Amino acid sequence: MTGRIVVVGDTLLDRDVEGVVNRLCPDSPVPVLDENNSVDRPGGAGLAALFAVGRGYEVALVTALADDEGGARLSHLLTAAGVQVYGLPLPGATPEKIRLRTRGRVLLRHDRGGPAGPPGEPSEAVFDLLAGAAGILVSDYGRGVARLPALRTALAGTAAPIVWDPHPRGPAAVPGVRLATPNEVEARELAGVATGGSRLVGAARSAQTLRQRWRVGAVVVTMGGEGALLCHAGSTPLVVPPPTCADGDTCGAGDRFAAAATVALADGALVSEAVQQAVTEASGYVANGGVAGAVPAAPARGATARTGAGPASGGPGAAPGAPRPTTAPTPAPTAGPTPVPTAGLTAGPTPGRPAPDGPVPAAPGGGAGAVGRTGAVGRNRPGAAQQLDTVPITAVDWSDRIGPRAAGEVVARVRAAGGTVVATGGCFDLLHAGHVATLEAARQLGDCLVVCVNSDDSVAGLKGPDRPLVRHADRARLLAALGCVDAVVVFDESTPHAALAWLRPDIWVKGGDYGTGADGPDLPEAEIMHRWGGHTVVVPYLDGRSTTEMIAAARAGSRPVGRTR
């Protein structure tokens, strides 16, 4: 690999003081930390640079360093880790963040170093470095490096892919950046989007606002344990769920995400591929204990660990695959207009949406205390449930999870609790791991998942007379058996539009390849979803899993699709 990964931004000195708390202070009601040891690490842009080391590229860091003991300490730690440091003069003291920790938890953070002073100008060597970079990460911590006019001009003129990790106190990204990576709070603040409502909708609005305002190629909003949401120029965002759900130390996870995305883009990955790789790495980073497990620590200046006393055990890092923490449901969009006229749609009320003439009785078995199979409880919504007399959906079974009545009751319960209804659809002929990955990702986006399945006649019209291989009654039964599916309905039309007009979900999810074009996909369902304020999103395909390929492999007697060597 040629070129370097260049990280530009503000570096801080991070110190973790680990100890044990066994008592309260006698003169004030605060815990007393008996220190066992303390360690120093580079923070901010310095930490991002460390995460890029060992990935096949030389790594250089352009940052401001003070002429004091802290600045010398940072320079030593970075150089020892293999980072080439291009220092800019920094007036004042080195910024430090000191965390007092016990049992893997932070008790208190103490910041020192004072307000940021204006850093000095970069040298010609820095400009040459940027011009020849394979990939550039701007790690802005709001202390002035990203504001330097000469640096911004050089960044705007480089051909290398740039990832911009912004800060609310920092400047806008330079035009032409390949990917901006704010977290959820930063994105809302930078975009001026009000809090409240659906997290997913707020993240999408923030990302699109920033993408247009900054004139960047794409914006990805990181959402902690919910993964990330990527917006290109198209109207349909890509939602990338984490492969594992872990409760652990998230300090540095954003830096890990940005560094991973930068390296992936330098390797030639599409933006969507880079985001998926970054989500995987950031999730694994948290699951494995965060910065303590990822970056070798150096004892703090003058620190000596006590004999026989190491860091307290019992940290919160959860094993991969730990269940997602239960959260209160996010409010659903306000009920849309009167039912959408759709060809072949039988007139009648829609589940979980108020009828035009006012409230209607609750659905059988419904109530505010149940949401699908989650058991979550939210605010009541008057007139949320509907009578289900006739619907434009094939009645396969009247079990508790299959058929229009089951779907209507689940939707009504979620609406009554103020939750978010998610729907997805497809043929699901020969159910495979790719289908399951899409369904699991969709279920994470709301409080229930309704799956719309093409009937046998519909599949034959779309795929040909030799399909489906599995009848729709059996396909529905298989889907209903999955823990991530709350209800299944079967439709006869070639598209799910009539089913969507009846269900009126808040979010419609499709699995797809987001990276085939620069603008991303515009799903045909997006237009009808917009009529009642719903949203469409894409989740990534699981590579190497395809019903068509499975059928071809079976007929040819070749290796099974997705089988590892």
Annotated catalytic sites, by residue? Answer: 255
CA–chain centroid gap for 232, Å, is 15
* Whole-angstrom distance, CA of residue 502 vs CA of residue 489: 11
- The helix or strand, by DSSP H or E, that contains position 126, with its residue range, turns out to be helix 124-131
CA distance to 19, 154, 341, 352, per residue, from 383 (Å): 55, 58, 21, 8
Four-point Cα dihedral 517, 523, 524, 527, nearest 10: -120
CA nearest 165: which of 133, 193, 197, 141? Answer: 141
How many CB atoms neighbour CB 139 within 10 A? Answer: 30
DSSP assignment of 426-453 equals E--SS--HHHHHHHHHHHTTSSEEEEEE
Q: Are 535 and 506 in contact (CB under 8 A)?
A: yes
Crossing angle of helices 253-266 and 271-287, rounded to 10°: 140
Rounded distance between C-alpha atoms, residue 207 and residue 115, angstroms: 30
Q: Cβ distance 285 to 527 under 8 Å?
A: no
Q: Which two tokens stand for residue 134?
A: 């394979």
Distance CA 355, CA 359 (A): 6
8 Å CB contact between 542 and 240: no
Contacts of residue 418, defined as CB under 8 A and 6 or more positions apart, other chains included, come to 329, 331, 332, 378, 379, 380, 381
d(CA 383, CA 122): 63
Give CA–CA dist 497/532, Å, rounded: 13
> Could you tell me if 317 and 185 are in contact, meaning their C-beta atoms sit under 8 angstroms apart?
no
Residue 144 near residue 119 (C-beta atoms within 8 A): yes
Q: Minimal CA–CA distance to 335: which of 443, 428, 412?
A: 412
230 pairs with which residues across the strands? 220, 238
Report d(CA 425, CA 492) in Å as an integer. Answer: 13
C-alpha dihedral, 6 to 7 to 13 to 14, nearest 10°: -110
